[in-house]
Structure 1
């Protein structure tokens, strides 16, 4: 069984529209594993279903349009309704209200950096446009950072699928997606650990510098 392979067959049937639609859908369907779909799209590129650059551009365009739609929807709904909507989405994604509140505070304090970085963090990337709308982030800053983050996310996984199947012919999309998930979780954990150590080291180092 290769469910991702079957999904890619469907996408290939509709060509560029299929790629755009799957990029758009991952913004509104939390159960759809974007990393797995993107890896499978990279695998299909080896079989000449579409060129890798085209796949990256079209899927990124679909995802970006979905992110902008969420941002504009939140601005139109207003803060109170949007927060309630964000909490509901968070529950579906396994995010607690406390984590969402912490994300809101972080965005407000470091808007420029986190708009881009949030698109590289699983789960958080899906609620980031809603958060940006809630804090009334500058649209041009939001659009630029989000587009860059989405392109890097999509490009990385599509390229990973393309080169992985070149190195290991015969591997199914579903098996490769599971391996990529494990790698993604480990990488995220290491980055979080590195960040905590860096913050703690910097906090301790500051008094020494001031004494000198």
Structure 2
């Protein structure tokens, strides 16, 4: 989505559009989540938005989206998701990949899943279908929503305080931050595997 269009939506609808875009991004309808979060920080440092209110709306949108997708998975079920999931980006490949990750560590998948497009959208549906404990899912969704939204918003806020950033470049910055996080996660993962292998040798 063009940043001018996004800025226009924010100007007209205010904080409600922040909640809506984050909600839609979680349930699987394409929305520029990371870019929007980074943009929120930039707009806040330029006094176009209240940092606290915007951050709360972003968190609420992500959290409510997770709860809604979980409920859909739990009460509507797998046949509905496989039939209509393609319309919100839930492909068979993504489904199988998420299934493998969930069998490994549910808590980690819920929280870290926020940072991985595709997994972020399918993870709550799978949790509901798998009947993951509602209390545990809500707790980790609550924490994950904070850990995902806040760093991007604060990144935009502090970057905006240091540089004069054109909003049209925000999507590239958001993608760049996402790539850096993924690289960090991969390096940490392979280091962990290497250490475990070394311990096994001894």
- TM-score between both structures, scaled by the size of structure 1: 0.83
Return the alpha-carbon distance in structure 1 between the equivalents of residues 188 and 107 of structure 2. 21
Return the alpha-carbon distance in structure 2 between the equivalents of residues 23 and 182 of structure 1. 19
5 Å matches for 1:18-37?
18-28=17-27, 30-37=29-36
How far does residue 182 in structure 1 lie from its aligned partner after superposition? 2.2
The structure with the largest alpha-carbon Rg is 1
5 Å matches for 1:95-106?
97=93, 100-106=95-101
**Alpha-carbon displacement from aligned partner over 1:42-92 (angstroms, at most 9, x marks no partner):** 111123232212211111111211211111111112233334555x268x3
Return the alpha-carbon distance in structure 1 between the equivalents of residues 177 and 37 of structure 2. 15
Q: Could you say what the CA RMSD is over the residues aligned between the two structures, in angstroms?
A: 2.4
Q: Which 4+ stretches in 1 moved above 4 angstroms? A: 83-86
Does residue 1:203 correspond to 2:197, yes or no?
yes
Contact 1:46/1:162 (<8 A) preserved: yes
Identify unmatched segments of 5+ residues in structure 1: none
Q: Which residue of 2 aligns with 1:137?
A: 132
Identify unmatched segments of 5+ residues in structure 2: none
Return the alpha-carbon distance in structure 1 between the equivalents of residues 92 and 119 of structure 2. 12
Distance of aligned partners of 1:119 and 1:16 in 2 relative to their CA distance in 1, 3 Å threshold: same
Q: Comparing 140-149 with 24-33, which one deviates more in the overlay?
A: 24-33
